[in-house]
Amino acid sequence: MILRWFGRKKPEEEARKDETTAPLPEPVPAEPAPTEPPTQEAPVPEPVAQEPPAPEPLPEPELPPPPAVETPPPPPVAPPSEPEEREDAPEIVRDDLPAALTAEEEKPKKGWFARLKDGLSKSSSKLTEGISGIFTKRKLDDEALEELEELLITADLGPTTAAKVTAELARTRFGKEVSPEEVKATLAAEVAKIVGPVAKPLVIDATLKPHVILVVGVNGTGKTTTIGKLARQFRAEGKTVMLAAGDTFRAAAVSQLKIWGERTGCPVIARDTGADAAGLAFDALEEARRQGVDILLIDTAGRLQNKAGLMDELRKIVRVIKKVDESAPHTTLLTLDATTGQNAHNQVEVFRDMVNVSGLILTKLDGSARGGVLVSLAERFKLPVHAIGIGEGVYDLRPFDADQFAKSLMGLPSQ
């Protein structure tokens, strides 16, 4: 099935040429990538090529309505400055959606901080129990400091951070009796200082039509889900969004993105499994330009660690979209699964060298006992952390807030 709304020739010749001249990728560290993710691969009504969404801001907490899911209409051609107006804001046809997804769309009742704290509870309980064990009725001596440093390392904060944080505690409290609460508060303040500089919201350049966001990462780290969550946020801000199913490796990956397209009211550009991903990205960018779409989110395949060819494919996507817009991709997001702990460090190294990663999104902070890895990543790579994921639902992605994170990690209240 080919879901193209437009009849231009794709740059396959160029792409093929690129392929033959592309340097072989470096061997990728054989770290255990998360195996097959339990993706939400429910059957989708197809085809799902869609009209571009109406550009008006969408009220929260309502999901932006999806467009009609009937036969692909002819592409509305509008100059970039004047995106096509639609009178009829399409409505969600909830009966068309798998039950599990419909249920998820309920806006969470708990506030974000409470959910972040719940999400990080596995990480924080390990730390807080450890801190209580070390510091109950005890002076801050060398032995206690050593135990604390060890605890922080096992909680994935990394040796550099652990040493730095304990040194700071020693500087102010050495030889004094300190309560676990004091230790937690000091640690939270130190952690906030380390992660503060990387807590940067993802800024969209409104003058770019589209602002191209390429989403990369090892398989199962949450690329497609994060794209869906971001799409919802952008739509709620009144932006027009297009999704490109650049993971042509698996049929299920395409259907998964189409579901997110329906849920968030975004057109999805997709092709058959096995199609050239770079060609698809090229077409999607041209189409997004033609329609004056604000943001183009490009999904990519993730099985890169054991398939060097896919790494090469990623570089090819970047080269080919630059033929349309030299400045694209404007953002290259790397998704990292917080449950993988220190493996995330290898992944940053590999992808950063490969595609010039501009920012990180840490996913699965819920249910991870290794949330501390965010601190060591911040310390080591200094790459912006734009957002964090704390669940599979459409609302479970938020801009990364250093102070909230640090307090949640130490099990402290928000105030």
Contact positions toward ligand GTP, by CB under 6 A?
A: 37-40, 217, 219-225, 247, 253, 302, 335, 363-364, 366-367, 389-392, 396
Which of ligand GTP, Mg ion, none does residue 329 bind (CB under 5 to 8 Å by kind)? none
Which of ligand GTP, Mg ion, none does residue 396 bind (CB under 5 to 8 Å by kind)? ligand GTP
- In whole angstroms, the minimum distance from the beta carbon of 214 to Mg ion comes to 13
Please, which residue, 186 or 300, has the CB nearer to ligand GTP?
300
Please, which residue, 57 or 274, has the CB nearer to ligand GTP?
274
CA dihedral 174, 179, 182, 188 (to 10 degrees): 100
- In whole angstroms, the minimum distance from the beta carbon of 345 to ligand GTP comes to 18
Which residues are CB-neighbours of 269 under 8 A, at least 6 positions away? 3, 4, 5, 49, 242, 243, 244, 245, 280, 283, 284, 287
Please, which residue, 115 or 290, has the CB nearer to ligand GTP?
115
User: Could you tell me if 5 and 72 are in contact, meaning their C-beta atoms sit under 8 angstroms apart?
Assistant: yes
Which of Mg ion, ligand GTP, none does residue 390 bind (CB under 5 to 8 Å by kind)? ligand GTP
- In whole angstroms, the minimum distance from the beta carbon of 311 to ligand GTP comes to 13
Which of Mg ion, ligand GTP, none does residue 240 bind (CB under 5 to 8 Å by kind)? none
- In whole angstroms, the minimum distance from the beta carbon of 250 to Mg ion comes to 8
Beta-bridge mates of residue 388:
362, 398
Q: From CA 351, how far away is CA 218, in angstroms rounded? A: 9
Please, which residue, 381 or 395, has the CB nearer to ligand GTP?
395
Please, which residue, 224 or 340, has the CB nearer to ligand GTP?
224
DSSP 337: E
* Interface positions with Mg ion (CB under 5 A): 223-224, 253
Please, which residue, 249 or 282, has the CB nearer to ligand GTP?
249
User: Could you tell me if 376 and 161 are in contact, meaning their C-beta atoms sit under 8 angstroms apart?
Assistant: yes
Please, which residue, 195 or 275, has the CB nearer to Mg ion?
275
Please, which residue, 302 or 329, has the CB nearer to ligand GTP?
302
Name the H helices within 340-412. 343-355, 373-381, 402-409
Name the H helices within 241-307. 251-264, 277-291
Which of Mg ion, ligand GTP, none does residue 340 bind (CB under 5 to 8 Å by kind)? none
User: Could you tell me if 123 and 62 are in contact, meaning their C-beta atoms sit under 8 angstroms apart?
Assistant: no
Four-residue CA torsion sign, 180, 161, 364, 396: positive
Residue 221's Cβ-side half-sphere holds a number of Cα atoms within 13 Å equal to: 31
DSSP 340: G
- In whole angstroms, the minimum distance from the beta carbon of 86 to ligand GTP comes to 29
Strand order through the sheet with 359-363:
268-269, 241-244, 295-298, 211-216, 331-337, 359-363, 385-389, 397-399
Which of ligand GTP, Mg ion, none does residue 389 bind (CB under 5 to 8 Å by kind)? ligand GTP
Which of Mg ion, ligand GTP, none does residue 255 bind (CB under 5 to 8 Å by kind)? none
Which of ligand GTP, Mg ion, none does residue 316 bind (CB under 5 to 8 Å by kind)? none
DSSP 25: P
- In whole angstroms, the minimum distance from the beta carbon of 108 to ligand GTP comes to 13
